[in-house]
């Protein structure tokens, strides 16, 4: 079974990051229910949705390389 990502660890990494990195615009089509729940969870944690998605992507890439 896949290891779940710890939301607290993601929030901690986000708050420690430098915002000066170059950014890119991307568009994804996602299920509305999931997007709404994700938005509420991000608001509750006080973090931006894009920053959380970026951390999920980092985790995914690192895991696919066997780094996490």
Are the C-beta atoms of 7 and 49 separated by less than 8 Å?
A: no
**Domain range annotation of the chain:** 29-68
Segment 13-56, tens digit of pLDDT: 777 776 667 778 889 999 999 999 999 999 999 999 998 998 88
Contacts 24+ apart (CB under 8 A), 36-42: 41/7
Segment 38-50, tens digit of pLDDT: 999 999 999 999 9
Residue 12 to residue 17: CA distance in whole angstroms: 9
58: its two tokens: 């980092």
| pTM exceeding 0.85 | no
């Amino acid at each position: 079974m896949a290891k779940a990502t710890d939301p607290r660890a993601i929030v901690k990494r986000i708050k420690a990051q430098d915002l000066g990195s170059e950014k890119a615009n991307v568009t994804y089509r996602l299920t509305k229910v999931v997007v709404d729940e994700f938005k509420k969870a991000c608001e509750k944690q006080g973090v931006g949705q894009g920053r959380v998605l970026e951390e999920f992507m980092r985790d995914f890439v690192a895991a696919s390389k066997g780094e996490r």
